[in-house]
Amino acid sequence: MSQDLQQIRRNIFDELTKIVDPEIGVSIMELELVDKVDIQNGQVSVDLHLTSPFCPAVFGFKIAQDVRDNIYKLPGIEGVKVNVSNHFMADAINKQVNESKPPSKPQ
């Protein structure tokens, strides 16, 4: 793995650690909700699950949107796709989050 890719990966995991489940106030990394992170040519794909298949949808949307927005703002990232699985609203969450306008990059 190149030095740049290692740094990007470190930055991504730092951002993921900052995201907390709004219902219980614990980091999604500490809760082990992130299943997979794939990085290729500035494109990042994050697979995650929520604390339960029926966790309140509003929290699922918030977590998924935070994952996408926080990673998207990092240098070297051109696109982010979030894939929530094992939740009754997974398809709606994925569609809304992945089709939303990306945040503006810091200058």
**6, 7, 39, 91 from 1: Cα distances, Å:** 6, 10, 11, 33
CATH of the structural domain 3-99, one choice from 3.40.50.2000, 3.30.300.130, 3.40.50.920, 3.40.50.1820: 3.30.300.130
Domain definitions of the chain by residue range = 3-99
- Say if residue 106's pLDDT is above 80: no
CB 97 within 8 A of CB 61: yes
Q: What is the pLDDT of residue 2?
A: 76
Q: For 28-67, how does the pLDDT look when each residue is reduced to its tens digit (9 = 90+)? A: 999 999 999 999 999 999 999 999 999 999 999 999 999 9
